[in-house]
Amino acid sequence: MIEMIPVAYPLIGEDEVLAVSEVLKSGMLAQGKNVARFEEEFASYIGVEHAVATSSGTAALDVALKAIGIGEGDEVIVPSFTFIASANSILFQGARPVFVDVDRTTFNIDPDDLLEKITPKTKAVIGVHLFGHPFDLKAIGEICDDHNLYLIEDAAQAHGAEYNGKRVGGFGTIGCFSFYATKNMTTGEGGMITTDDDELAGRCRLIRSHGEREKYNHTILGYNLRMTDIQAAIGIIQLRKLEEFNRKRIKNAEYLNRHLRMEGLITPHKKGEVKHVYHQYVIKLEDDFPMSRDAFCEYLRSNGVGCAVHYPIPIYEQPLYQQLGYGEQRCPVASALARKVLSLPVHPALTEEDLGHIIEVINNL
């Protein structure tokens, strides 16, 4: 059997193992001093005043939207081409997701279509730094300012990505990160909220933990969406490795860009003003590509190259959203991309041999 180069692979070293075992032996497993330290170090890395750790990226979005005050009757604009959590966080507040189309080259939120989708009910915009490429923060930021809208940065796939030299997660009202196992840095499961707003950060802390201001004094309705000290111990070490992980992702992506030669295969686009951290390396297969995407995936896998489709269905076409009455929605670019995109391995665990094999398999098609 051919061994498969996986499309994602978490890099965990002995130092993470040691840190976890220290927490396990300490008797303090739940949210404690490791979470506090991870928050402090993450806030400083992103360049914001506050970071609030959560149990997942989905929890981060949920807490952030609730803290901002999104609720019934509100509309929140979100790209149609992203992971479903970006939109579901709006549904969880009883608000209505309004889907906006994406740019055909960066796959990110399209400012022109965003303008078309704003109504008197619009309260916020969730921009997603998809696949590690920052969205157009200047254009989207200006639209949000002009229309008095909150801007939520979904940076679940963009730890360490930069826009004009500044790290994402510090541009909008609030930023949300995920530390799921496949992300640029991981805690297994986990999330982080980033903001410069003291009051908003305080509300996030309350919502994350039963609205508890001090021990057994509950001032608002909250959940238990806390991170454990076990996860935070991993996160502290992964954060120190993040720049090196990203450097390798960028190097791997540049290698693939230089060597992939196939008609109809378009390598990922990167705008000049951004640092793209290649959470995924997403190619497009145009009509002149010699095979169907399904057949190409099968060919890759049978030759030991893992691949995946991010994402095969625009969110409004998902069965859940069809049941919610989104049948008439049309985002033509998102619909076309869903049929064309394919993610190839780019993670930092790839060896030179792996990269050479990926190129050989594709160029010899």
Ligand X SMILES: Cc1ncc(COP(=O)(O)O)c(C=O)c1O
Q: Based on CB atoms, which residue is closest to ligand X, 122 or 178? A: 178
Least distance CB 180 / ligand X (angstroms) = 4
One-character DSSP codes across 110-138: -HHHHHHH--TTEEEEEEE-GGG----HH
| Strands of the chain, DSSP E | 50-54, 75-79, 96-100, 122-128, 150-154, 162-163, 166-167, 174-178, 191-195, 212-214, 217-218, 265-266, 274-275, 281-285, 341-344
What are the percentages of helix, strand and coil residues in the chain, rounded to 5? Answer: 40, 20, 40
The whole-angstrom separation of Cα 284 and Cα 268 is: 8
One residue of 31, 34, 58, 194 binding ligand X per CB under 6 A:
58
The whole-angstrom separation of Cα 191 and Cα 189 is: 7
Of 51-59, 195-203, 317-325, 345-353, the segment contacting ligand X by CB under 6 A is 51-59
Of 2-10, 81-89, 94-102, 296-304, the segment contacting ligand X by CB under 6 A is 81-89
Q: Based on CB atoms, which residue is closest to ligand X, 83 or 281? A: 83
One residue of 5, 46, 77, 85 binding ligand X per CB under 6 A:
85
Least distance CB 259 / ligand X (angstroms) = 28
Strands 281-285, 265-266: pairing kind: antiparallel
Of 80-88, 132-140, 238-246, 295-303, the segment contacting ligand X by CB under 6 A is 80-88
Least distance CB 193 / ligand X (angstroms) = 12
Least distance CB 215 / ligand X (angstroms) = 28
Q: Based on CB atoms, which residue is closest to ligand X, 128 or 140? A: 128
Q: How many residues bind ligand X (CB under 6 A)?
A: 14
Least distance CB 225 / ligand X (angstroms) = 10
One residue of 10, 57, 111, 172 binding ligand X per CB under 6 A:
57
Least distance CB 130 / ligand X (angstroms) = 7
Computed over its alpha carbons, how large is the radius of gyration of the chain?
Answer: 21
Of 67-75, 78-86, 216-224, 356-364, the segment contacting ligand X by CB under 6 A is 78-86
One residue of 38, 81, 83, 171 binding ligand X per CB under 6 A:
83
Q: Is the dihedral of CA 178, 301, 295, 251 positive or negative?
A: positive
First to last CA, the chain: 20
- Residue 56 in contact with ligand X, rule: CB under 6 A: yes
In one-letter notation, the amino acid at residue 91 is: L
The whole-angstrom separation of Cα 350 and Cα 99 is: 36
Strands 96-100, 75-79: pairing kind: parallel
Q: Print the binding letters for residues 128-147 with ligand X: x by CB under 6 A, - otherwise.
A: x-------------------
19 CB-near residues (< 8 Å, 6+ apart) = 233, 234, 236, 237
Least distance CB 128 / ligand X (angstroms) = 5
Cβ contact 158:132 at 8 Å:
yes
Q: Which residue in the block uniquely carries the two structure tokens 């030991």?
A: 304
Residue numbers 150-209 binding ligand X by CB under 6 A: 154, 156-157, 178, 180, 191
Q: Which residues bind ligand X (CB under 6 A)?
A: 56-58, 82-83, 85-86, 128, 154, 156-157, 178, 180, 191
